Amino acid sequence: MALVQKFEELWIWQEARELVKLIYQDFGYGTPGQNDYGFKGQIQRAGVSIMNNIAEGFERRGLADSARFFDIAKGSCGEVRSMYYTAEDLEYVRNEVAQNRRDKAIKISKGIAGYTKTLRAKIEV
């Protein structure tokens, strides 16, 4: 199995990229939440934060520094999940859509946790 050379090869980054696309679609033109600019901006920033912090963590030199960025990405997964409850409550998205996005965020979060656990194990050696 080949060693990952760039962040674009990480499945967690690829999944985060897909989640960002879905978030933008869910709150774009013609959607119920399109004019709630505060909400829309916050959930979009949280989604992009997942993707970008995975990338930044991967590019860092020190393992502890890398792990810190992965922790931030994991936190942003929680923020996206939480915001989809609000989106559902405000009827910006259907229940099935909100649950799908929360499930995707959980999958990414678990992947980040596994990756970070591996990084931290290398630090302790």
| Residue 26 within any structural domain of the chain | no
d(CA 61, CA 74): 20
Largest CA distance in the chain: 53
d(CA 88, CA 27): 12
Number of domains, the chain: 1
The pLDDT of residue 56 is: 97
- Taking Cα atoms as reference points, which of 14, 18, 112 lies closest to residue 71? 112
Residue 23 has pLDDT above 60, yes or no: yes
d(CA 88, CA 86): 5
| Residue 95 within any structural domain of the chain | yes
pLDDT in tens, 100-112: 999 999 999 999 9
| Residue 28 within any structural domain of the chain | no
Does the reported pTM lie above 0.85?
A: yes
The pLDDT of residue 95 is: 98
Report the percent of the chain where pLDDT is more than 70: 98
How many Cα neighbours within 13 Å face the side chain of 122?
11
With vertex at residue 44, the alpha carbon angle to CA 89 and CA 8, rounded to the nearest 5 degrees, is 130
| Residue 4 within any structural domain of the chain | no
* Structure token pair of residue 91: 């009827």
| Residue 61 within any structural domain of the chain | yes
- Tell me the CATH number at 40: 1.20.1440.60
| Residue 52 within any structural domain of the chain | yes
List, in order, residues 6 or more apart from 74 with CB less than 8 Å away. 109, 112, 113, 116
Binned at pLDDT 50, 70 and 90, residue 70 comes out as: very high
Residue 125 has pLDDT above 80, yes or no: no
The boundaries of the domain holding residue 58 are 9-21+34-124
